[in-house]
């Protein structure tokens, strides 16, 4: 039953509301934007600088899905790989507030805003993580609330949270 | 989709096509963007509650988005071939909810659909409307693996800006974008 990958990691019982990890920074190049957009979001305003200037975005900008993917990578590196993560249930309130433009630097924070035990799986807890991603001018680029499953070390010990 | 805002019918279900996820691409995507062991290491993943390798939810989402863009582009071409000007899809301000209901495993074939559940004119950007889209993805067994409420901008066909608004827009060409995207 023991999971060798996660047994020595922090479990649900070890997490606290208010914990915050710093994410990034990472600077996004034109090549990065084109590589992601070519595979997953081949719209003119993510692929072509002239089309981008004439679009609502006003210049070459990363796909919003790329901003999310980069943020997720930061969370995996700094947090999810240090806890007994069981994968994501989903998220709410993803807002792309500003585009991530060519040569922008993305960084931010991820904070635990809620912890509760699964009502259907006694060995699983759910951690809610709020992302606040910003550019180099401290302007918000993206926010979202991620719900992630975490192993409970000892399900026999009841907890109401 | 590629219709004008005014012509978009609610609740029509558009088939966006399907994609079969291979183990190699699941590992490649996750190595770049979601390097958790159950997305990148088939041996370690066997000990997880998934019982094996599964795709990152963000991978499923990204593939679905690609299929949607392909469908849009193909429809635009058809509309142009018919001698009409297609509607204009704009960027998305966000996703209200996204659920990963079941894992996507290597070899799974996932079919994506899109429907517009509601629409209204934008309060913040003249000349544009907001579409409330429901995206769903089912695997080859018919099980829902992912669903999302995605909001997107769509240009109004019948918009006639007032002289005052045209002047204001000309004066603030670049800030138009900021006003557009910045949501308090």
ipTM for the predicted complex: 0.94
Blockwise average pLDDT, block size 10, chain A, 161 residues: 91 98 97 96 91 86 96 98 97 96 97 96 97 98 98 81 50
Pick the residue with more confidence: B155 or B25?
B25
Predicted local distance difference test score (pLDDT) of residue B63: 98
Q: In chain B, how many domains are there?
A: 1
For A124, name the nearest residue in chain B, comparing CA atoms only.
B49
Q: Which of the two residues, B14 and A161, has the higher pLDDT score?
A: B14
**Interface membership of A98 toward B (CB under 8 Å):** yes
Residue A128 token pair: 């809610």
CA-wise closest residue to B54 among B105, B129, B10: B105
Q: E strands, chain A, where?
A: 20-27, 85-96, 105-117, 124-134, 140-151
Which positions in chain A touch B38 (Cβ < 8 Å)?
Answer: 87
Does the residue B104 lie in any domain?
A: yes
Check A96 against B177: CB less than 8 A apart. Answer: no
**B85 and B155 in contact (C-beta within 8 Å)?**
no
A25 preceded by a cis bond (ω within 30 of 0): yes
Closest to A71 in 3D by CA, of A63, A59, A83, A61: A63
Q: Does the pLDDT at position B168 exceed 80? A: no
Alpha helices in B41-134 (DSSP H): 42-45, 57-81
Mutation target for B interface from A69, A121, A149: give the one with most B CBs within 10 A.
A69
Evaluate whether A70 touches A37 at the Cβ level (below 8 Å): no
Domain holding B57, by residue range, is 5-159
Structure tokens at B21: 């996820």
Whether A81 sits inside 8 A of B34 (CB atoms) is: no
Q: Is the CB of B92 less than 8 angstroms away from the CB of A39?
A: no
Q: Do B97 and A99 touch (CB under 8 A)?
A: no
Stretch 23-62 of chain A: residues touching chain B, C-beta under 8 Å: 39-43, 45, 55-58
Q: Report residue B151's pLDDT band, with 50, 70 and 90 as the boundaries.
A: very high
Under an 8 A CB cutoff, do A87 and B66 touch? no
A-B interface: how many C-beta pairs under 8 angstroms? 120
A4 → chain B, closest CA residue: B47
Q: At B177, which helix (H) or strand (E)?
A: helix B175-181
CA dist., res. B158 & res. B30, Å (int) = 44
pLDDT of residue B170: 62
- Whether the per-residue pLDDT at B104 is higher than 60: the answer is yes
Q: Is residue B173 part of a domain?
A: no
The encoded tokens of residue A22 equal: 């710093």
In sequence order, the 6+-apart residues with CB closer than 8 A to the CB of A138 are none
In a domain? residue B103: yes
* Domains of chain A listed by start with CATH number: 12-151 (3.10.129.10)
Q: Whole-angstrom Cα distance, residue A56 to residue B180? A: 8
Q: Find, among A155, A132, A126, A153, the residue nearest to A144 by Cα.
A: A132
């Amino acid at each position: 039953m023991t999971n060798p990958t996660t047994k020595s990691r922090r479990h649900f019982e070890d997490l606290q509301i208010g914990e915050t990890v710093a994410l990034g920074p990472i600077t996004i190049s034109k090549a990065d934007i084109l590589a992601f957009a070519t595979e997953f979001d081949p719209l003119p305003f993510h692929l072509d600088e002239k089309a981008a200037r004439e679009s609502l975005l006003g210049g070459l900008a990363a796909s919003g899905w790329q901003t999310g993917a980069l943020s997720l990578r930061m969370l995996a590196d700094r947090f999810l790989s240090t806890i007994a993560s069981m994968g994501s249930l989903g998220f709410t309130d993803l807002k792309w507030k500003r585009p991530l433009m060519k040569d922008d630097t993305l960084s931010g924070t991820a904070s635990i805003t809620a912890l509760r035990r699964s009502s259907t799986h006694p060995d699983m807890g759910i951690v809610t993580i709020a992302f606040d991603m910003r550019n180099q001018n401290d302007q918000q680029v993206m926010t979202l609330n991620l719900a992630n499953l975490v192993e409970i070390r000892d399900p026999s010990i009841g907890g109401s949270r | 989709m590629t219709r004008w805002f005014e012509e978009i019918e609610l609740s029509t279900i558009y088939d966006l096509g399907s994609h079969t996820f291979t183990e190699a691409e699941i590992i490649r995507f996750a190595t770049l963007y979601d390097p958790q062991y159950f997305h990148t290491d088939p041996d370690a993943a066997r000990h997880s509650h998934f019982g094996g390798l599964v795709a990152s939810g963000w991978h499923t989402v990204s593939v679905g988005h690609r299929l949607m863009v392909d469908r849009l582009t193909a429809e635009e071409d058809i509309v142009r071939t018919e001698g009409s000007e297609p509607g204009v899809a704009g960027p998305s301000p966000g996703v209200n909810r996204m659920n990963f209901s079941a894992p996507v495993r290597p070899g799974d074939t996932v079919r994506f659909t899109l429907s517009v559940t509601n629409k209204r004119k934008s309060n913040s950007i003249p000349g544009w409307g907001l579409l409330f889209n429901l995206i769903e993805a089912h695997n080859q067994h018919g099980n829902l693996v992912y669903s999302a409420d995605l909001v997107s901008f769509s240009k109004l066909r019948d918009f006639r800006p007032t002289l005052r608004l045209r002047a204001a827009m000309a004066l603030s060409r670049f800030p138009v974008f900021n006003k557009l995207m910045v949501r308090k």
